[in-house]
A and B are shown apart, each in its own frame.
Chain A
């Protein structure tokens, strides 16, 4: 199964998820995109930058010093919808970024995305 098939499967299972992106956080490169209407490259680059800012920043270090586990997930909610970011310890350089509508089922999205990311990492 190709990476894009995994990303497509997330969108199929979670209808309010409009786009799924796999990004390399160390090189800031978009590796794969699944979307009915592909967002412009600037939008994808901005998404990657947000993932880096939220998942790989000094905030994690401050939380770690306070005894908290550094975050593997992050979300941004706005009137336009939700951006959801996640990564897995087995694939620490890469992150899934999802663009969703405001009524997305986050429980289902997280379950699907973590499962698919684990399969991508194991391939």
Chain B
């Protein structure tokens, strides 16, 4: 698939223009459910290839030319789930460089050459939107960690479904089997009237040796997590750290 993504006004390099470029890039990511490599190409022939699945950027697979890639050594071919703060800041700077002076982007969507994407967590569109907003790191504030990434980091096992198709999983087979069983139980049925925004249902661990069960719903994305020894307050801090429901 090849598509053209239009930018801002001719020859005007300002923040409004890069904002105009970011929106269609975000839209492409937001519309990508199955694993794909999205390869963006700007007017200068520079290329940025992203591995995207379940509306999340899992990896930056390539930055061309090499001189541009060399300016961002923390990004290409590194998983994006850990140490997100500095990587996010670098990603923002990369996009600003990539969009500067660009009037039109093209994008191609192909099957990714690497299959090792399901254990990657990556960055969701909510996090990327916040990154790009005035409240992002560019305004001098560290971004709040994406909720799904934070839960994936903390969990011993997780399964992520997008439109009822499994798009990510991690953990030992026994835990994944347990999660599959729990996914069908009554307590994990979708809460009534919870269609607006993410909803997180939590059964905390009874003690340090127990497992907390967390069910996160956000649109057509559902994720179940087992978190070892996590009590109610500890999970609440993850939720509160995501900034959802504040302001």
Q: What residues make up the interface of A, taking CB atoms closer than 8 Å to B?
A: 46, 50, 53-54, 57-60, 62-63, 66, 68-82, 84, 102-104, 106-107, 110
A-B contact pairs, 6 of them (CB 8 A): A72-B206, A75-B200, A75-B204, A75-B236, A78-B197, A104-B236
> Taking A62-B182, A102-B245 as contacts, is the C-beta distance between A50 and B204 under 8 angstroms?
no
- The A interface is mostly helix, strand or loop, or mixed, namely mixed
Tell me if B89 counts as interface (CB < 8 A to partner A): no
The interface size of chain B toward A, counting residues with CB under 8 Å, comes to 36
- Per the bound structure, the CA–CA distance linking A75 and B239 in Å amounts to 11
- The B interface is mostly helix, strand or loop, or mixed, namely mixed
Residues on B with C-beta less than 8 A from A54 are 187, 201, 203
A66 nearest CB neighbor, chain B only: B178
Interface residues of B in 188-217 (CB under 8 A from A): 188-189, 191-194, 196-204, 206-207, 210-211, 213
**In the complex, what's the smallest C-beta–C-beta distance from A29 to chain B, in angstroms?**
19
A82 touches B236 (CB 8 A): yes
Q: What residues make up the interface of B, taking CB atoms closer than 8 Å to A?
A: 178, 181-182, 185-189, 191-194, 196-204, 206-207, 210-211, 213, 232-233, 235-237, 239-240, 244-246
Residues on B with C-beta less than 8 A from A81 are 245
User: Which one, A50, A53, A80, contacts B245 given CB within 8 A?
Assistant: A80
Beyond contacts A54-B187, A57-B186, A79-B245: 6 other A-B pairs, Cβ-Cβ < 8 A, are: A53-B189, A69-B207, A71-B203, A75-B235, A78-B198, A79-B244
**In the complex, what's the smallest C-beta–C-beta distance from B88 to chain A, in angstroms?**
23
- Per the bound structure, the CA–CA distance linking A107 and B239 in Å amounts to 14
A84 nearest CB neighbor, chain B only: B232
**In the complex, what's the smallest C-beta–C-beta distance from A61 to chain B, in angstroms?**
8
Residues on B with C-beta less than 8 A from A84 are 232
A78 touches B187 (CB 8 A): no
Residues on B with C-beta less than 8 A from A79 are 196-198, 244-245
A59 touches B198 (CB 8 A): no
**In the complex, what's the smallest C-beta–C-beta distance from B236 to chain A, in angstroms?**
4
A77 touches B200 (CB 8 A): yes
B212 nearest CB neighbor, chain A only: A71
- Per the bound structure, the CA–CA distance linking A46 and B240 in Å amounts to 24
> Taking A77-B245, A110-B233 as contacts, is the C-beta distance between A62 and B191 under 8 angstroms?
no
B202 touches A63 (CB 8 A): no
- Per the bound structure, the CA–CA distance linking A104 and B191 in Å amounts to 21
> Taking A77-B199, A78-B245 as contacts, is the C-beta distance between A69 and B206 under 8 angstroms?
yes
B199 nearest CB neighbor, chain A only: A78
